[in-house]
Structure formats: structure tokens, C-alpha cells
Amino acid sequence: MLCPLGADGDGWPAGAGAVGPADVAQPAGLGGLAGGAGSAAAAGPSAAVALGDAVELGDAAAVGGSVGPVILATDLAAAVREHEQRGDVRWVWADTAEVYPALLAAGIRVERCHDVALTERLLLSREGAAGQPSYLAAAAARLHGRPVPPASRPAASDGPQPSLFDSPETPQDGLAQAAARLGDLVAVHAGQLTRIAAGPQPGRFGLLVAAESAGGLIAAEMSAAGLPWRADVHDQLLTDLLGPRPAGPVGPAGPRPARLADLAARISAAFGDGRPVNPDSPAQLVRALAADGVQVTSTRFSVLREIDHPAIPLLLEYKELARVHAAHGWSWLDTWVAAGRFRPEYVVGGVVSGRWATRGGGALQIPRTLRRAVIADPGWVLVVADAAQLEPRVLAALAGDQAFAEAAAAGDLYTALASAFGGDRNDAKKALLSAMYGGSGGEAGQLLSVLRRRFPQAYNFVETAAQAGEQGRTVSSVLGRTCPPPSQAWRSLAAGSADPDGGPDLGAGRAARARGRFTRNFVVQASAADWALVLLASLRRRLNTMGDGPPAGADRAGADRAGADRAGAGRGSSGWAGPHLVFFQHDEVIVHCPAAVADQVVAAVDDSAREAGRLLFGATQVSFPMTTAVVDCYADAK
């Protein structure tokens, strides 16, 4: 069932659709980001609501109000494909993560969408209602003053709808449910547009909503495409480090590989009383060291390294190898790599700052040593691009600090700032990190006072954010993503300290400072996440114009899953014919593309970085250079 909205329901508040942020001189920005409408955004791309399949609906009146003509469809995928081919559609749907993977499996990509759940969460945070459920049914219930239904899926965070329909008894029931759900969708969408328009800086927030929704699409597309991963290379790497793969059960419970077993035995033997010590157990290690007269407060690598004891060198080696085995060993390989691809599940906005998280597979913690296994398909390359010194540059732009911005205009930021710190690049770096993270120990204090003197606006910007946090207020990113309010426990603690009879305020002061560090960092980290998200959306749009895009249809997608590990000539084994995103990690992206278009992709990355800077910060002097490498193997980048 499809329901294209009329031109006046184009998905944007009038002001935001036509222009970028009022104080950002980039009129065409939103439309461009959102999918290629460019300045035509003012005319309004049509939008549509996608709900389910095999359901017929009478007419627009049935779902209430301001929607355009209703199109009957018996096949969601086919209908979406048809509308996409006509172009100029923004799909409005409840939850990209729920709807889009099936479309991708059928070989269909969409240009843009409005994700109601992601948008709801952004709005709730801004409205001081963070933590309330953001799925469609909950949003609709709030809108209509009904009791909010419980999430019917065991909430991983804020769980999406379990399914499109609740197993209708009859086709008529199915129709009724679908109609109700579509009504909810239309109403909640309209309500969201109103809330965006009524809030502060609707242009910026609209950009955030567009970028977040694009992020939803990209996350699903990257999961579908997968990161090229050579299981044979990974296996060889493990064998070189750990010895041959042990026979027996796959999984953490399995036997230690030869090298780890050998080290474990020698570690036990190196202790005085000769009894077995499990090197995986910090408690046992502390006891065993104590028995030999060595007192330690922890068994961290950095602590152990300073200790003189025969077991230590073995232990350090063991810890390093055991980590690889446990986190990214054969068990991981069996679980997460199939048909030459690693397919993590990304969680858009999984971090309060707007950074992404992943579920399973630890995709955002791939150790450097294992990046050897990330190898482009034959004839293809990886374009690995990361934003150089993103967070301090974002701070420079946020604060509008002229002197700082000049230093961040080009080249290495820390080098440019070095003269202010007596010519030492490391001092400049330390001072900035301390300012952004709230560090105070060691020489940080001294360096901070230099920063304060030379770059007062940048210093004051993070200082103000820290004070807001300490006082229990919230802070926001440049596009308006808002941090969570303090917990009830925090408030009680803070209130207690103000009470003369409240006893010692030890905890209160510590909690206040901790929250200050959080909000101090939030404004920078979240704004950097804004930037990265806009970069990603912009890059996706550019890449889509360069190749013939996604696999042509379900047949191909099915065939790929069936396991063609190696690519045929000219087409990656994912079946994607053109450049496509395969990885995103905070400030770094990887594009998998035919070697012949690598130069174009590099240019697209640079253009996207410029566009992101312009959309967020307008005519700032600050530049956001990308460090880009074109490689066969991820490990060869930087």
C-alpha cells in the first residue's frame, strides 16, 4: 500500500525545505543532501508512505486528511521500485531498519526517506523526554493522548515495531490494521514536521533529521553490501599468531590454541609455588604476584609492563594473543564472515552523541592487525578516507575562534597551533585533548591556561558546556542533537549537597564534575558526529550518480548470498556494479569501487567533506581535510 503525499506534503517544513539553516549561507543544502533535488527543494519533492504489502485501501480519506491520491499495491517491493524509477520521492516510513533490508534483498534501493522512529528520538531528546519509546505506535499514542503501548519487541534500546501487522485473523482485519497504521504514520509524520518547524533552528534540525534518516538507509545498505573480508587471509593470520586452529568445538569454550596453551603453562611455572594460574583471571594474577612479593592494584598492560618478574613478559605476550583469539578468532570468523563479506548490524544513533554503534561482531573495534584480511575484490579497490583531526576542527568552527580557525584553515592543526605552545606539537595536542575531554592531571592544567590565553573563545566554548552539565542542564550539537538530562540519582545527589543537613557532598561534587566532562565532550563529539553523518549522506548521493548502483534484482541478490565468493570481472561479489560504502567508523569511511573510478571517488569524498563543513558551519575558515588512501588492503591505508 502506497500513499504518495501531495506536493504540499513534501516532507519538509516550508522554511527548512527551501533553505539550510537560517544562519548558514547554503540555500540548496537540504534538498541536495536529501537526495538530489537541489534548489528544486523549494518546489517540493513528492513523498510517499510505505506501509506493507498485499493490502488494499479505499482512498485518502480513509487514512485521514492531507495525503495525496492513494495507490493500491499488492507488492510493496514492486511499488517502491516503480516510484523510485519515477524519481523525486521521499519515503516516509516507521522504521528503516525494519523495512529496508527486505527491499535491498529484492534489489531495490531508495534515494531518501523520513524515518519516523529516528526522527522521534531526536525530537524527544530535544523536548526533554529522552528515553520515551520512539517507535511509531508510541509516537501515535502520545499524539492522540492514548496510553503508550509497550514495545512488543524486547527492547534493544527502543525497539522498532515487531512486524508490520499483528497477524490478522482475516483479510478484513488486516486491512483495518493497515489503515490504522497508515493513519498513525501520516499523523505522526505531520506532527513531527510541525514540531521541527516550531522548534529552534528548524533548518538545522531539519538537516539533522534528513541526515539521520539517510544514515538509516546507509546502515542497511552497508550491512547488505558487507565489508570485503578474506577468510583465508584471516585464518592464516590467526595460525601464524596462535598456532593451528584447534580441533573441536567452535566457540569461546573451545580449547586454547597451542601457542596460548604453551604460554599459559609457562606463566604458571614462572610463579613461585608452581600451582596453575589462569592468566585470564585478574584476581588469580594479583594473588600469584602477591605471593611472590609483588603488589599490584591492577593487571592492566601498562601496570604489568613496569614490573620485574619472570612471568611478566610471558603474560604480556599472552594477553595480546588471547585478546585476538577471544575477540576476533576463529569463532568470530565463523560467526560473522560469509561469502567473503563481514556484515555487521549498524545501530544508527546508537550512541547519545549521534555516533553509531553496532550489534554483534564488534565492527567498530576491528584491530589493526586484522585489517590485513580486508581486501578489495579483483579489479576493485578500497578508498579509505578519514577526517584529519576532526574534533578539534569542529571545536574551532563551533567556537568561531578567529585565531584558532586560522590555524585550522589547512594542514596539520596541531603543528599550526604549536607556536602558541612554545613550538611543541605534542603540547598543543595535549592541551586540546584536555580541553575537549576535561583532563586536568599532569601538565594539562598548565597547557590549558595557555589555551585559555591564546584561544579564549574555543576555551570558553567547552568551559560553558561543562558548566551547563555541572548545573544539570543539557547541551546540544551544532545541528541540535541534545544530550540526555541527568539521572534522578544524579539530581538527588546534587540536591543533597545543597542541603545543609545532607551530609558530606563528596559524591555530589564528583558527580557534577563527571557530568561536566560529559557535556564538555558532548558538544564536540556530537557536532563531529553531525558532520560525519552529513558527509556520509552527501557522499552516498555522489556515489549513486557514478555507477549503475545496486544489484539489478532479487535474482542477483539471491545468487550472491548463495556464495559466489570471488567476483567475476568488473563486478564486486556483492553484486554492486558501482562504488558503494562498505564501512563507517565515527570519522572514517571506506568505499569499495572499481579501480577505474577510484579517482572520482576520492574527489567525491573531498567534495562531500567540503559540503558537510559548509552545511554545518557556513562560511567558516576552518577546513575539514580528508586523509584518503586508495588501496587493495585496508591495512595499507595510513
The distance of closest approach from Cβ of residue 518 to DNA in the complex, given in angstroms and rounded to an integer, is 4
Residue 317 binds DNA (CB under 7 A): no
Q: Is 300 in the site for DNA (CB under 7 A)?
A: yes
Q: Which long-range contacts (CB under 8 A, 24 or more apart) does 60-65 make?
A: 60/3, 62/179, 62/183, 63/3, 63/179, 63/182, 63/183, 63/186, 64/183, 64/186, 64/187, 65/186, 65/187, 65/190
Q: Is 327 in the site for DNA (CB under 7 A)?
A: yes
**Near DNA in 375-404, by CB under 7 A:** 386
Which of the ranges 6-14, 51-59, 237-245, 435-443 carries the binding residues for DNA, by CB under 7 A? 435-443
Whole-number Å distance between alpha carbons of 53 and 55: 5
Nearest C-alpha neighbor of 24 from the set 538, 479, 403: 479
Residues 6 or more apart from 445 whose CB is under 8 A from it?
Answer: none
State the minimum distance, in angstroms, from the CB of residue 281 to DNA: 4
**Could you tell me whether strands 580-584 and 588-594 are parallel, antiparallel, or unpaired per DSSP bridges?**
antiparallel
Q: Is 360 in the site for DNA (CB under 7 A)?
A: yes
- Asked if 295 interacts with DNA (CB under 7 A), we say no
256 binds DNA (CB under 7 A): no
Rounded Cα distance, 313 and 253, in Å: 26
Count interface residues toward DNA (CB under 7 A).
Answer: 57
Say whether 169 sits in a helix, a strand or coil: coil
Contact 583, 341 (CB under 8 A): no
H/E stretch holding 206: helix 202-225
Residue 365 sits in the site that holds DNA (CB under 7 A) = yes
Residue 507: CB minimum distance to DNA, A: 14
Grid cell 563531529 — which residue? Answer: 528
Instruction: Find where cell 585464518 sits.
Output: 235
Residue range at the interface with DNA (CB under 7 A); choices 99-107, 138-146, 295-303, 395-403: 295-303
Residue from the set 266, 319, 425, 473 that interacts with DNA by CB under 7 A: 319
Residues 462 to 521 in contact with DNA, rule: CB under 7 A: 514, 517-518, 521
Q: How far is the CB of 385 from DNA (least distance, A)?
A: 12
For the beta carbon of residue 273, count every other beta carbon within 10 angstroms.
Answer: 9
Q: Which is nearer to DNA, 95 or 427 (CB)?
A: 427
Closest approach of Cβ 586 to DNA, in Å?
Answer: 4
Q: Which of residues 176-235 bind DNA (CB under 7 A)?
A: none
User: Interface with DNA by CB under 7 A: which range of 315-323, 392-400, 448-456, 546-554?
Assistant: 315-323
Smallest gap from Cβ 289 to DNA, in A, equals 11
The piece of 22-30, 210-218, 294-302, 375-383 that touches DNA (CB under 7 A) is 294-302
Cross-strand pairs, 476: 482
Using the rule CB under 7 A, which residue among 368, 504, 562, 566 binds DNA?
Answer: 368
Binding of residue 443 to DNA (CB under 7 A): yes
> Where in 94-113 is the site for DNA (CB under 7 A)?
none
C-alpha 79: how far from chain center: 30
Nearer of residues 367 and 411 to DNA, judged by Cβ:
367
State yes or no: residue 527 binds DNA (CB under 7 A).
no
Q: How far, rounded to the nearest angstrom, does the alpha carbon of residue 577 sit from its chain's CA centroid?
A: 25
Contacts of 126 (CB under 8 A, 6+ apart): 199, 205, 476, 480, 481, 482
x/- track of binding to DNA for residues 560-589 (CB under 7 A): -------------------------xxxx-
Structural contact between residues 11 and 17, judged by C-beta atoms closer than 8 angstroms? yes
Assess 259 for contact with DNA (CB under 7 A): no
Helix (H) or strand (E) holding 358: strand 357-359
Beta strands 89-93; 46-50: pairing state: parallel
Out of 6, 439, 547, 549, name the contact with DNA by CB under 7 A. 439
Check residue 358 for interaction with DNA (CB under 7 A).
yes
Q: Helix, strand, or coil here: 253?
A: coil
Residues in contact with DNA by CB under 7 A are 252, 278, 280-284, 298-302, 319-320, 323, 326-327, 332, 347, 350-353, 355, 357-362, 364-368, 386, 430, 433-434, 437-444, 514, 517-518, 521-522, 525, 585-588
